[in-house]
């Protein structure tokens, strides 16, 4: 009990320091949550540069709004939510600029994939990153975050039927990519 | 079903994916945070300037609004108005003006229904030199029907109409009766309360403010701040300088060269000086009377500097700690009070000397500290905690800026300035100033004192 109280007290002090914009506290928060949040951002982008942009944009929002965080709830979950929303904003912003057909867009390779490693999270992540932005967003929001098609449609500004259609196509492409990886390693 | 299995598989693999921490990413993040903070400060500054400009604009528009403007068409002549400074008039003019011939004028009738209905007072102060000649009686008659609230008071005829405006209360009843009123007749009504410097036979229109103010019903004439008399025979003019107080509003911006003295009084450490730049923006309010002006206002200043690293070394059995200040940023508010004396005027240029003092208050300070911990008990080798202190937050451990006496200092300012008079309301000025700190223990843990050389550039408007 004492340990819980002590930890809570420590977190409150830490959050208070973040509110005061004390750099050491910001750095600690960044360091503590970096690994998980970078993973989230990588899922929503197709390369590590974009992922870092999303991550940093997200942390700017975190530091700006840290006073709105409700102590006692999960800080990581709160930050993750901000990261997902920032990823959606990033997608919307880039969608406006994109002129090419999303379905036929060139698939860019990722820097994360490591050909020597076993099929695992990195390869799956690479496969997700190779999806077109529209497919990737729908897949992430629906499958990983657990949004409904209605919510996905609202977030991305598309229709529900487009969301369903994109999800089906995303699954197909992911299955193809993962199958080819298995085949590659099998040989 | 197959889809569900696939989705679960992907979710399990990706939901909690973690990436190894990259310290270089924090450097980028920190850089971005600093950019954001600077951007925020700039936005605040820009918004402040915008608000000040808007206020200035509103003041200006308010002053130029044609309140009570006449609907009567402009007179059929165009007086050539040359705005002149009263001080620039050579004294022989005054002598000449005393010899101006009598101006014979017959009482002329003003159709009152054409006069403006408003009783608003004219607000334009104009020192004018009129060069037009009005010879024919036809023209004079036309002029005599000029609206009372003519802005440009440039001719004798127009001047003569001013008292009509001034005596509006008297005319009210007559207007109701739709009668016409002879101008000169009304002018003569105010002659009783005037001091004549120029002795026109009739009418006498030069008045000193002091006397005008004694009669309430003609007090509106004083709104002109005095007016001139111009003979209509191409002769010289006489300008009476009104001895009224003027309220002046100004805005300025200045680049600062800050001379930091640190530490100014610590006997153990040799004091050193460093030079750093900064900037200041502010507004001023002043009251001008004759050649003197007293001025106050509010200013915001920003400066940032890297003090000479003076390490605090503490040690325990296992650790050695080295701590020093890496960078200090100050956001400061100043409340200046100054006296200015206008010692010379050449054409449209006014030269003045200025001196005064200012109360300077640190609204917020950001202190970057470097802490090196070398020892067995700690893995941390280099930590850079940074914190902000000021009016609302303070570093209680260092007792830094936690009390008012640590937050402020008093400075004496001296300088001189040149003002370009654009017209009777607006002026632009440039003002080199030196500010020297007195009293106070000095700011920050190093007890720094700040002296400043500045170049004020700004604009002033007479309200």
A38-61 pLDDT tens trace? 999 999 998 888 999 999 999 999
pLDDT in single tens digits along all 463 residues of chain B: 667 788 888 888 888 888 888 888 999 998 888 888 888 888 888 888 888 888 877 777 776 666 544 454 545 544 444 444 445 445 554 444 444 444 444 444 444 444 444 444 444 333 333 333 334 344 444 333 344 333 333 333 333 334 334 334 444 444 444 444 444 444 444 444 444 444 444 443 444 333 333 333 333 343 444 444 444 444 444 444 555 788 999 999 999 999 888 765 555 556 678 889 999 999 999 998 888 999 999 999 999 888 776 555 555 555 566 666 778 888 888 999 999 999 888 888 999 999 999 988 887 777 777 666 665 544 444 445 555 555 444 444 444 455 556 677 889 999 999 999 988 888 999 999 999 987 666 776 667 888 999 999 999 998 8
Based on the domain organization, do A81 and A155 belong to the same domain?
A: no
Nearest to A143 by CA among A123, A166, A177: A166
Matching residue, tokens 């911006």: B253
DSSP letters for A72-120:
TB-HHHHHHHHHHHHHHHHHHHHHHH--S-STTPPPPP-SS--TTSPSS
CATH number at residue A185: 1.10.10.10
Spatial distance between the Cα atoms of B384 and B390, rounded to a whole number of angstroms: 20
Q: Are B360 and B331 in contact (CB under 8 A)?
A: no
Spatial distance between the Cα atoms of B158 and B156, rounded to a whole number of angstroms: 5
Smallest CA–CA distance from B368 into chain A, residue: A23
Domain count, chain A: 2
Highest mean pLDDT among A101-110, A148-157, B84-93, B229-238: A148-157
* Residue to test with chain B: of A143, A147, A172, most B Cβ within 10 A: A143
Based on the domain organization, do A109 and A50 belong to the same domain?
A: no
What six digits make up the tokens of A44?
A: 């929503």
Strand-pairing partners, residue B421, are B427
Exposed/middle/buried for residue B313 (C-beta within 10 Å: 0-12, 13-18, 19+):
exposed
Nearest to B302 by CA among B40, B24, B14, B21: B40
Spatial distance between the Cα atoms of B237 and B235, rounded to a whole number of angstroms: 7
Which residues have C-beta within 8 Å of that of residue B133, sequence separation ≥ 6?
B232, B233, B234
Spatial distance between the Cα atoms of A29 and A36, rounded to a whole number of angstroms: 12
Nearest to B242 by CA among B269, B218, B263, B221: B221
Based on the domain organization, do A149 and A109 belong to the same domain?
A: yes
CA B392 remoteness from chain centre: 29
What six digits make up the tokens of A86?
A: 């920032």
A7 touches chain B (CB under 8 A): no
Spatial distance between the Cα atoms of A126 and B145, rounded to a whole number of angstroms: 90
**B195-199 long-range CB contacts below 8 Å, 24 or more apart?**
B197/B94, B197/B238, B197/B240, B198/B97, B198/B98, B198/B100, B198/B229, B198/B238, B199/B98
Domain finish residue from A97, A129, A155 = A97
* Residue to test with chain B: of A58, A110, A121, most B Cβ within 10 A: A121
**Inter-chain residue contact B13 with A24, CB threshold 8 Å:** no
Please tell me which residue, B319 or A120, carries the higher pLDDT value: A120
> Which pLDDT score is estimated for B136?
39
Distance (Å) from the alpha carbon of B380 to chain A's nearest alpha carbon: 12
> Which pLDDT score is estimated for B144?
39
Spatial distance between the Cα atoms of A61 and B116, rounded to a whole number of angstroms: 61
Radius of gyration over every alpha carbon of chain B, rounded to an integer in angstroms:
34
Query: Between helices B183-191 and B156-166, what is the axis angle to 10°?
Result: 70
B268 touches chain A (CB under 8 A): no
Spatial distance between the Cα atoms of B185 and B171, rounded to a whole number of angstroms: 12
Smallest CA–CA distance from B3 into chain A, residue: A171
Residue A138 CA: distances (Å) to CA of A104, A175, B312, B389: 17, 16, 56, 46
What phi and psi values does residue B351 have, to the nearest 5 degrees?
A: -115, 135
Spatial distance between the Cα atoms of B97 and B197, rounded to a whole number of angstroms: 9
Spatial distance between the Cα atoms of A176 and A180, rounded to a whole number of angstroms: 6
Spatial distance between the Cα atoms of B281 and A40, rounded to a whole number of angstroms: 45
* Residue to test with chain A: of B25, B30, B327, B383, most A Cβ within 10 A: B25
Strand-pairing partners, residue B460, are B250, B427
Strand-pairing partners, residue B314, are B321
**What is the C-alpha end-to-end distance of chain B, expressed in Å?**
81
Residue B260 CA: distances (Å) to CA of B327, B389, B431: 13, 19, 22
> Which pLDDT score is estimated for A110?
38
Based on the domain organization, do A161 and A75 belong to the same domain?
A: no
Given a cut of 50, is residue A187 above it in pLDDT? Answer: no
Based on the domain organization, do A8 and A54 belong to the same domain?
A: yes
Based on the domain organization, do A89 and A165 belong to the same domain?
A: no
Spatial distance between the Cα atoms of B144 and B231, rounded to a whole number of angstroms: 15
Domain finish residue from A97, A127, A158 = A97
For chain A, give the longest Cα–Cα distance.
Answer: 59
Residue B36 CA: distances (Å) to CA of B300, B388, B390, B457: 20, 16, 20, 28
Nearest to B66 by CA among B149, B165, B143: B149
A164-186 pLDDT tens trace? 999 999 999 888 888 877 666 55
**Inter-chain residue contact A39 with B18, CB threshold 8 Å:** yes
What six digits make up the tokens of B148?
A: 């009372």
pTM across the whole model: 0.41
Based on the domain organization, do A56 and A126 belong to the same domain?
A: no
> Which pLDDT score is estimated for B313?
58
Based on the domain organization, do A178 and A127 belong to the same domain?
A: yes
Nearest to B183 by CA among B204, B158, B205, B164: B164
What phi and psi values does residue B393 have, to the nearest 5 degrees?
A: -130, 155
pLDDT tier for residue A124 given thresholds of 50, 70 and 90: confident
Spatial distance between the Cα atoms of A147 and A151, rounded to a whole number of angstroms: 6
Sort out which chain A residues have CB atoms less than 8 A from B35's CB and list them: none
Sort out which chain A residues have CB atoms less than 8 A from B385's CB and list them: 22-24
Based on the domain organization, do A84 and A114 belong to the same domain?
A: no
> Which pLDDT score is estimated for A8?
60
Based on the domain organization, do A6 and A92 belong to the same domain?
A: yes
Which residues have C-beta within 8 Å of that of residue B350, sequence separation ≥ 6?
B342, B344, B418, B419, B421, B427
Distance (Å) from the alpha carbon of B326 to chain A's nearest alpha carbon: 14
Residue A34 CA: distances (Å) to CA of A57, A81, B218: 13, 14, 78
Distance (Å) from the alpha carbon of A23 to chain B's nearest alpha carbon: 5
Counting residues of chain A whose pLDDT is more than 70, the rounded percentage is: 78
Based on the domain organization, do A22 and A44 belong to the same domain?
A: yes
**Inter-chain residue contact B11 with A144, CB threshold 8 Å:** yes
What six digits make up the tokens of B190?
A: 């105010």
Which pairing describes strands B426-438 and B449-462: parallel, antiparallel, or unpaired? antiparallel
What six digits make up the tokens of B449?
A: 């004192």
What six digits make up the tokens of B443?
A: 């700011």
Domain finish residue from A55, A71, A97 = A97
Based on the domain organization, do A86 and A112 belong to the same domain?
A: no
Distance (Å) from the alpha carbon of B374 to chain A's nearest alpha carbon: 18
What six digits make up the tokens of B245?
A: 């107080």
**Inter-chain residue contact A52 with B28, CB threshold 8 Å:** yes
Radius of gyration over every alpha carbon of chain A, rounded to an integer in angstroms:
19
Q: Are A69 and A78 in contact (CB under 8 A)?
A: yes
CA A85 remoteness from chain centre: 9
CATH number at residue A79: 1.10.1740.10
Determine how many CB atoms are found less than 10 A away from the CB of residue A61.
16
Spatial distance between the Cα atoms of B166 and B221, rounded to a whole number of angstroms: 6
Helix (H) or strand (E) holding B259: strand B245-262
Domain residues for the domain of A13 are 1-97
Helix (H) or strand (E) holding B263: none
**Inter-chain residue contact A52 with B387, CB threshold 8 Å:** no
> Which pLDDT score is estimated for A30?
92
Helix (H, G, I), strand (E, B) or coil at A14: helix
Determine how many CB atoms are found less than 10 A away from the CB of residue B296.
15
Smallest CA–CA distance from B382 into chain A, residue: A24
Spatial distance between the Cα atoms of B220 and B123, rounded to a whole number of angstroms: 9
């Amino acid at each position: 009990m004492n340990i819980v109280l002590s930890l809570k007290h420590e977190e409150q002090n830490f959050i208070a320091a973040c509110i005061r914009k004390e750099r050491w506290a910001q750095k600690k928060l960044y360091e503590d949550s970096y690994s998980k949040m970078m993973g989230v951002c990588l899922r929503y982008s197709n390369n590590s540069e974009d992922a870092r942009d999303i991550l940093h944009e997200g942390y700017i929002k975190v530091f700006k709004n840290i006073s709105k965080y409700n102590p006692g709830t999960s800080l990581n979950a709160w930050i993750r939510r901000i990261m997902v929303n920032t990823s959606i904003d990033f997608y919307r912003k880039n969608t406006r600029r994109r002129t090419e057909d999303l379905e036929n867009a060139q698939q860019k390779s990722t820097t994360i994939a490591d050909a020597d490693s076993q099929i695992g999270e990195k390869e799956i992540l690479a496969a997700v990153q190779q999806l077109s932005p529209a497919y990737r967003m729908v897949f992430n929001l629906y499958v990983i975050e657990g949004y409904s098609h209605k919510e996905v449609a609202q977030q991305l500004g598309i229709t529900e039927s487009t969301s369903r259609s994109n999800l089906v196509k995303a699954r197909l492409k992911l299955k193809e990519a993962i199958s080819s990886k298995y085949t590659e390693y099998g040989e | 079903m197959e889809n569900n299995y696939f989705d679960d598989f992907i979710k399990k693999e990706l939901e909690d994916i973690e990436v190894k921490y990259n310290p270089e990413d924090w450097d980028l993040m920190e850089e971005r945070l600093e950019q954001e903070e600077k951007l925020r400060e700039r936005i605040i500054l820009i918004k402040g300037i915008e608000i000040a400009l808007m206020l200035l604009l509103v003041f200006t528009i308010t002053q130029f609004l044609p309140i009570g403007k006449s609907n009567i068409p402009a007179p059929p002549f165009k007086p050539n108005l040359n705005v002149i400074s009263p001080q620039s008039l050579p004294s022989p003019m005054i002598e000449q003006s005393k010899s101006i011939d009598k101006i014979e004028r017959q009482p002329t009738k003003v159709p009152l229904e054409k006069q403006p209905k408003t009783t608003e007072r004219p607000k334009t102060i104009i020192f004018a030199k009129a060069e037009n000649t009005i010879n024919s009686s036809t023209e004079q008659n036309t002029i005599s029907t000029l609206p009372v609230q003519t802005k440009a008071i440039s001719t004798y005829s127009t001047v003569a109409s001013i008292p009509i405006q001034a005596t509006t209360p008297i005319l009210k009843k007559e207007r109701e009766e739709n009668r016409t009123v002879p101008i000169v007749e009304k002018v003569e009504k105010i002659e009783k309360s005037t001091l004549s410097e120029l002795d026109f036979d009739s009418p006498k229109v030069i008045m000193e403010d002091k006397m005008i103010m004694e009669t309430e019903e003609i007090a509106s004439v004083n709104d002109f701040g005095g007016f001139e008399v111009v003979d209509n025979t191409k002769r010289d003019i006489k300008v009476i300088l009104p001895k009224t107080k003027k309220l002046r509003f100004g805005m300025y911006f200045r680049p600062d060269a800050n001379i930091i003295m640190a530490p100014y009084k610590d006997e153990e450490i040799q004091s050193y000086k460093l030079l750093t730049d900064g900037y200041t923006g502010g507004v001023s309010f002043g009251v001008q009377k004759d050649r003197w002006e007293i001025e106050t206002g509010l200013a915001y200043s920003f400066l940032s500097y890297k003090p000479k690293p003076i390490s605090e070394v503490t040690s325990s059995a296992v650790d050695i700690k080295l701590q020093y200040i890496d960078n200090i940023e100050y956001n400061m508010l100043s409340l200046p009070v100054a006296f200015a004396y206008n010692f010379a005027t050449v054409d449209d240029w006014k030269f003045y000397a200025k001196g005064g003092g200012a109360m300077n208050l640190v609204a917020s300070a950001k202190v970057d500290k470097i802490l090196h911990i070398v020892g067995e008990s700690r893995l941390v080798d280099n930590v850079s905690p940074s914190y902000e202190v000021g009016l609302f937050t303070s570093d209680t451990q260092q007792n830094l800026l936690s009390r008012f006496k640590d937050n402020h200092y008093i400075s004496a300012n001296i300088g001189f300035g040149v003002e370009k008079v654009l017209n009777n309301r607006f002026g632009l000025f440039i003002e080199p100033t030196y500010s020297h700190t007195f009293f106070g223990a000095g700011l920050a843990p190093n007890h720094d004192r700040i002296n400043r050389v500045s170049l004020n550039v700004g604009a002033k408007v007479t309200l």
